[in-house]
Amino acid sequence: MRRALAVVVALLAVAALGGCRLPWQCPLTDDARPSCGGVVLGVTTAQPSTEMLSAAEDFVGRPYDMVYRFHEIDDAFPTDEERGIVASGRLLHLSVDTRVEDSRDGLSWAAVAAGRHDAELSAQGRAIADLHSPVLVTYEHEMDQASKSALGTPEEFVAAWRHVHDVYTRAGATNVVWVWVASGTTPTLERASVMWPGNDVVDWISWDVYNAAGCRADRTSAERHVSFEESFSVFHDWLEREGPGLGIDVTKPKMLSETGSVVYPDDPSLTAQWYSEMPDVLRRHPDVVAVGLWDHVGIQSCDYRFTGVASLEGAMRGLARSDVFAELDVSF
């Protein structure tokens, strides 16, 4: 891990000499935290476009410093839009997923571990290396979801993760910060416990924090409201309690990859309250170094989009201006 961080620091020095201001405006510590403190604020937009990212930033009144994008394992990426994200000084988070929905032959964790996608993975690794800046990469986000059991066993996932890591590294992508992303819900904890790839191939630990409020059953209601802290604590407390026994280095930096609340049509102030509670929780957990807002739809009938919702503008602008988030200059 120290080798990867040394590369990241060197890349930052080169970028500074060239006049490009990258998201990390201060040296990284040995565990990949920005040494000047503060939480990096990011977003996932409903569509992966520059126009939608600009609209999202206009709505909250500031740039997002991290952007999350998703790809299938045989995609060619980074895309031009993603290169633009990096060129603008933002931190790019890429998820490389072996999709279940396609039901295509050969899509499995065992196939990945056996090298059947090495040509695509090697090309991805070379392209990421060519960005010459730190890039967060996740292989198979939410791997602990029950639906993903169709891709293979936990042991096969671990083998696939380690293989993807090795292929990227051989391709020169030593600028990657590897982020393990769990679902963060009570039903998935047992499965997550046997899907840790190893401290040597994971740099950050991440999970999702949602207030679904019954939306998955198409019965969104205030009675099913779950606060940000309640949802956050499910995985965080489990990790602190069980992680060491599972061989997980729980001192690694943490990230919330996807964070969002449904919008209550009859009481949008309750949604605003959910977001407003976030800074106080983050202040009590300085191990969390990045948060990504989910400005997107979810599964089934869940809708977490907030950009353009007039009743939430004040709350979202207040959240984005919170001093818990790092003040990062993404200009050249």
Instruction: List Cβ neighbours of 5 (8 Å cut-off, separation of 6 or more).
Output: 28, 30, 32
- Our answer to whether residue 81 is catalytic in this structure is no
d(CA 66, CA 33): 14
d(CA 55, CA 225): 28
- Give the residue from 162, 39, 31 showing the smallest Cα distance to 91: 39
DSSP string, 22-90: -S--S-B-TTS-BTT--BEEEEEESS--HHHHHHHHHHHTS--SEEEEEEETT---S-HHHHHHHHTTP
Torsion (CA) 166, 168, 170, 176 in degrees, nearest 10: -100
d(CA 123, CA 119): 6
Mapped onto helix, strand or coil, the DSSP state of residue 296 is coil
d(CA 272, CA 200): 40
Asked if the peptide bond before residue 78 counts as cis, ω within 30 degrees of 0, the response is yes
Instruction: List Cβ neighbours of 166 (8 Å cut-off, separation of 6 or more).
Output: none
What are phi and psi for residue 182, nearest 5 degrees? Answer: -100, 165
List, in sequence order, the alpha helices (H) in 171-289: 189-192, 228-242, 268-276, 278-283
Catalytic residue (choose from 120, 258, 277, 313): 258
Report whether 32 contacts 55 (CB < 8 A).
no
Instruction: List Cβ neighbours of 287 (8 Å cut-off, separation of 6 or more).
Output: 251, 253, 254
The residue length of the chain stands at 332
- Our answer to whether residue 230 is catalytic in this structure is no
Catalytic residue (choose from 142, 155, 156, 327): 142
Instruction: List Cβ neighbours of 278 (8 Å cut-off, separation of 6 or more).
Output: 228, 259, 291, 319, 322, 324
Q: Which residues are catalytic, by number?
A: 142, 258
